[in-house]
Copies of this chain bind each other. A is one copy, B any other.
Amino acid sequence: MQESSKSEARERVLTAAERLFGERGYNAVSLRDIAAEVGIKHTSLYHHVPKGKEELYIEVTERRMERYQSGLQTTILLAGSLWLAQLHAAARWLLAQPPMHFGRMMQSDMQAISPEAAERLRIVVYRALLSPLESVLTNALAEQSPSKQRVSILAGMFLSLIEGISNLPDHFIRGSRDELLNVMIDLFVNGIKPQK
């Protein structure tokens, strides 16, 4: 154990990068910012990530997405066998995480890296977030034996609704985000009309 092949210095770099990229996005984070957070000079980063900023971004984004996927799956598993409870649990878990900034990732960060890397990452991101939700929705819609296509679309819309809550400026949130979550789930399950 005295030789951690994935050195712990490198781990500190990745952790800092993941946090900063996640919070501010690709363009708004410089290598100097990341290095400063770790307490080293920015040129030292190249020892850990020889190919530079883009490689760093790709690596930490993949890490992050793996954590999203397993976190979501675990949350759903622990929520019991009722799909409505699973849906609530998934939404609550997602809102408890640092904001995804899904729209920014897709429309800003992906544009700033190479097209090939962007295309790969887009798929990774969608798979990580959609597939756990798709399994829940397949249960929810069991009596309708819905198409995989439709399940995917509904899962995407569920994510959009979650993301919308994060995008709201504070002025529009009188109550807590938990209340919004309930309104959101109600909308998703029953549509516009029933207040409850």
Contacts and interface: CB of A to CB of B under 8 A. Distances in A.
A44 interface: no
B146 A195 contact: yes
Contacts of A160: 160-161, 163-164, 167
A47 to B, nearest CB: 28
A117 interface: no
B183 A150 contact: yes
A141 interface: yes
Interface string A133-149: 00001001100101001
Chain A interface: which size bin? 35 or more
Interface stretch (A1-9, A55-63, A66-74, A98-106): A98-106
Interface string A147-159: 0011011101101
Complex copy number for this chain: 2
Given A24-B111, A126-B169, 11 more contacts: A27-B27, A103-B104, A103-B167, A104-B104, A137-B192, A157-B184, A159-B164, A161-B161, A188-B191, A188-B192, A190-B191
16 contacts: A24-B111, A25-B108, A25-B111, A102-B103, A103-B106, A103-B163, A104-B104, A107-B108, A119-B169, A152-B172, A154-B183, A154-B187, A157-B184, A157-B187, A160-B163, A188-B192
Interface of A: 24-25, 27-28, 99, 101-104, 106-108, 111-112, 119, 122-123, 126, 137, 140-141, 144, 146, 149-150, 152-154, 156-157, 159-161, 163-164, 167-169, 171-172, 174, 180, 183-184, 187-193, 195
